[in-house]
């Protein structure tokens, strides 16, 4: 019997420093015995000047894709990338950019044996063209964030997402607030939160040299340093608590005033992230709920599970979805509450409790749940892509 095939159309490149839900699900699908094509959103000549992971994406494109046992990971290149820029934000570009890829991404996928698949999985609305270009027995859109909450969102992108939601057999949302946000719900919209690769974060690590030079206690944040972080609060807390070191691991994409006890270490390979977490003292999630409520209230935070799997107590801004999951994180609304939460977290030595909480969310169980949901979801009889 031939192996089952999954084509995964995802936002992030396979070799990105940010390993998110689709990466982890792909690895679980491979363990289950599937053949997986993992195709990310495109690069273009414009990305030379703006994309932080351009080199990684370009490497996958130039090589024709990464081919490993049962995996083909690829980044297409196009002359007209769909983005929130003049002329490129049009509905035509969002719907037809794939026809201007070189070589044709559709032809390339078919050449690698993914013209017909058992499952078409999408987490990126800009790749919804796959619904019309290949044949799939089941289709699923995994909604990882509230798309309209991002600055890069355009009317064309939001229209594509709405159409995608209506066309696929199954929609899974990482947050309960995302489920509630979908208007005119189709037959199958399910809640399937994020997870954690437990073994990756619980295996004993080694103290990184960059961290060894920083005074303890260490409060750490791992992720993109983007506009959705509460920069004024970060500066305020760092100045008010000079006895703590505040470490940020990830690419800096927004301006932050840095007191002497704030350290920016830049992006690190995903394989090394557990080392930084295991030798820190508190994991911090200082999101800016006040200025970006639509975005933040719909976040089911990957980093919370990763922090806790590493035995780190977590301090985080209070937002709606974070309250929904009922984690043992220390939540705050104000600067004074944040300082108090950090003090409490530093006294929190119950790493076993935190690891046990994270263990409920291992990606292996998430992948099995998704497969069960797909099996139960009836294929749309009018779908143009059904086999």
Answer for the pair 281, 312: CB distance below 8 angstroms, yes or no: yes
* CATH 3.40.50.11010 corresponds to the domain 5-195+363-376: yes
Run means of pLDDT, 10 residues per run, the chain, 387 residues: 88 94 98 97 76 80 94 96 90 95 97 98 98 97 96 95 95 96 82 96 94 97 96 96 97 87 96 97 98 97 97 97 95 98 92 93 97 88 43
The whole-angstrom separation of Cα 357 and Cα 328 is 8
Answer for the pair 98, 131: CB distance below 8 angstroms, yes or no: no
Domain coordinates in residue numbering, the chain:
5-195+363-376, 198-359
Under 8 Å CB-to-CB from 145, ≥6 apart: which residues? 174, 178, 295, 298, 299
CATH code matching the domain that covers 198-359, chosen among 3.40.50.880, 3.40.50.300, 3.40.50.12780, 3.40.50.2000: 3.40.50.2000
Structure confidence at residue 385 (pLDDT)? 47
Of residues 300, 261, 305, 267, the one with CA closest to residue 283: 305
Enter the tokens of residue 335: 């600067």
Structure confidence at residue 52 (pLDDT)? 61
Same topology for domains 5-195+363-376 and 198-359, yes or no? yes
pTM summary value: 0.94
- CA 51-291-342 angle, to 5 degrees, is 95
Structure confidence at residue 46 (pLDDT)? 75
| Bond prior to 103 in cis (omega within 30° of 0) | yes
Structure confidence at residue 72 (pLDDT)? 98
User: Is the dihedral angle over the CA atoms 331, 335, 338, 340 positive or is it negative?
Assistant: negative
- CA 347-351-356 angle, to 5 degrees, is 140
- CA 317-320-323 angle, to 5 degrees, is 75
């Amino acid at each position: 019997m031939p192996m089952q095939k999954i084509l995964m159309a995802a936002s992030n490149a396979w070799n990105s420093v940010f390993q998110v839900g689709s990466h982890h699900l792909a690895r679980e699908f491979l363990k289950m015995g599937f053949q997986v094509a993992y195709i990310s959103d495109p690069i273009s000549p414009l990305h030379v000047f703006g994309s932080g992971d351009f080199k990684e994406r370009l490497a996958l494109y130039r090589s024709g894709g990464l081919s490993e046992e049962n995996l083909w990971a690829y980044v297409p290149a196009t002359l007209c990338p769909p983005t929130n820029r003049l002329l490129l934000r049009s509905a035509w570009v969002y719907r037809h950019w794939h026809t201007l890829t070189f070589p044709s991404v559709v032809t390339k996928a078919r050449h690698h044996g993914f013209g017909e698949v058992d499952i078409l999985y999408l987490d990126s609305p800009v790749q919804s063209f796959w619904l019309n270009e290949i044949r799939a027995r089941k289709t699923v859109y995994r909604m990882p964030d509230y798309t309209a909450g991002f600055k890069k969102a355009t009317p064309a992108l939001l229209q594509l997402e709405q159409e995608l939601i209506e066309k696929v057999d199954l929609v899974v949302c990482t947050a309960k607030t995302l489920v509630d946000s979908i208007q005119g719900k189709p037959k199958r919209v399910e809640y399937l939160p994020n997870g954690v690769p437990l073994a990756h974060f619980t295996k004993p690590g080694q103290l990184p040299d960059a961290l060894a030079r920083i005074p303890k206690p260490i409060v750490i944040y791992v992720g993109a340093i983007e506009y959705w972080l509460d920069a004024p609060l970060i500066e305020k807390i760092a100045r008010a608590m000079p006895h703590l070191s505040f470490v940020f691991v990830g690419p800096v994409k927004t301006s932050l005033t840095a007191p002497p006890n704030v350290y920016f270490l830049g992006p690190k390979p995903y394989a090394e992230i557990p080392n930084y977490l295991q030798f820190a003292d508190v994991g911090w999630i200082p999101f800016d709920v006040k200025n970006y409520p639509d975005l933040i209230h719909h976040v089911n935070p990957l980093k919370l599970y990763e922090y806790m799997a590493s035995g780190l107590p977590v301090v985080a801004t209070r937002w709606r979805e974070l309250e929904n999951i009922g984690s043992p994180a220390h939540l705050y609304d104000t600067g004074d509450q944040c300082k108090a939460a950090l003090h409490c977290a530093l006294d929190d030595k119950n790493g076993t409790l935190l690891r046990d909480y994270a263990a409920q969310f291992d990606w292996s169980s998430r992948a099995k749940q998704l497969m069960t949901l797909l099996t139960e979801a009836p294929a749309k009889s009018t779908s143009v892509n059904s086999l």
